[in-house]
């Protein structure tokens, strides 16, 4: 995991898919997967918009523990789908050089979560 956090931003930068080593959304922090998926101010807005407002949700300091803890229980499907959409949104901006808005990420996450719940 450390290697991914360390080298992924570097690969984006060297391949000129990202403008710099900072998070595309907030431009405040060096991009790590954990920061982008959970701690970035935009990511926090998405999580809050989906109802993940418990202080414990944001307190875990280990990526794998955070994912394991939230991948069980009644909100498992919504959590995992949001992880995927959050990362997809990053790639749309960073690799595809397109724009995706916060409301689109929220709407697509909710739509896919609804479909998954109905089907399974």
61-94 residue pLDDT tens: 899 999 999 999 999 999 999 999 999 998 888 8
The pLDDT value given to residue 29: 64
At 2, is the pLDDT very low, low, confident or very high (cuts 50, 70, 90)? very low
11-63 residue pLDDT tens: 444 444 454 555 566 767 677 888 889 988 889 999 999 999 999 999 988 99
E strand or H helix that includes residue 87:
helix 76-94
pTM value is 0.75
DSSP characters for 24-71? TTTSSSB--HHIIIIISHHHHHHHHHTT---GGGGT---HHHHHHHHT
Q: For residue 47, give its domain range.
A: 2-119
Specify the residue for token string 């690969």: 11
The total number of structural domains that make up the chain: 1
Residue 90 near residue 36 (C-beta atoms within 8 A)? yes
76-94 and 63-70 helices cross at what angle (nearest 10)?
130
The pLDDT value given to residue 6: 44
Q: How many CB atoms lie within 10 A of CB 90?
A: 22
The pLDDT value given to residue 14: 42
């Amino acid at each position: 995991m450390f290697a991914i956090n360390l080298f992924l931003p570097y690969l984006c930068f060297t391949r000129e898919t990202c403008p710099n080593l900072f998070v595309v959304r907030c431009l405040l922090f060096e991009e790590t997967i954990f920061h982008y998926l959970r701690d970035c101010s935009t990511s926090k807005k998405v999580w809050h918009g989906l109802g993940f407002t418990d202080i414990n949700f944001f307190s875990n300091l280990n990526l794998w523990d955070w994912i394991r803890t939230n991948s069980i229980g009644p909100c498992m499907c919504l959590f995992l789908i949001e992880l995927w959409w959050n990362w997809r949104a990053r790639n749309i901006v960073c690799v595809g050089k397109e724009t995706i808005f916060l409301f689109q990420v929220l709407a697509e996450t909710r739509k896919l979560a609804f479909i998954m719940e109905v089907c399974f």
